[in-house]
Structure 1
């Protein structure tokens, strides 16, 4: 009898939590947990980027900010379906909320700079880089590349310019320790293509 009552209340609490998340509008800076039951290697946490999107293997960029968890789940399911024999079961939840913006604060100059790492990287998001942090150090600080990374097409976006880098190279055209990052730089590690 106790197990039956306990099971009922547990199901009720889980349903309430799911209902609360289903109406929540995702914001830039939130972290979403995406789980694909058919392929556990795809399951991961992903950051909602400043442009309001998330990147996910085999699905590419998906709009997330201003939408509900259910809407993002449906888009991911539709994008992943061509890669599976049957429609995949995708679950999306809000893993962490964006930190609220401080309304009034005293700005204290710091020696760190905000740079962003996105795409097929172990820990995408904002990095606090020092004045001398290089591109290679930022990739290492973000946990390195995932197995889906197109390591020959890494992009450094600085303003309106895009610089391409080859992570794995035997010659002198790869990532060296000489590319120092500046505030606002965005490092994009795209998903590799089928035979890349």
Structure 2
């Protein structure tokens, strides 16, 4: 035998031994397919699947526990269960075809890094603005550069559309009173899609 042939044979033996060791250490789980062969009675030979309850059924052996056990442990259980049907203990071979891996659940969507709000009317820098979640009305107004001298500061509106009903709600805000020291009953934190409308001041307003 050539040196190359010997090397190939040695590699094959090593790989076979590694595969056998891996199978002997493998712990069976639901969904695995087992190829069970009984040397003394080939009519019993068949593929069986480990059911969700961790067991499988085999003729003359009944229900055999498998999940969490090694192939050798299951082989011993099948051999013991079949022994009463043969003059001597049968010779049982079991091969395993592991179930495909369970698909991983999709990762939870990351929280939005920014939300879009819209500032319109008498502000220094209107239009769409990207702000961080939790940004307040006053912070957003400051980000828009504040109001112009022509702003009707007593009649600023926050318009918010309910995403479920698509009904728009209008919340009046007296910015002048806030500037004069009034306290808001609660902090107004903006939501994605909110519109801040700063109307123009009327004559003598």
Larger radius of gyration: 2
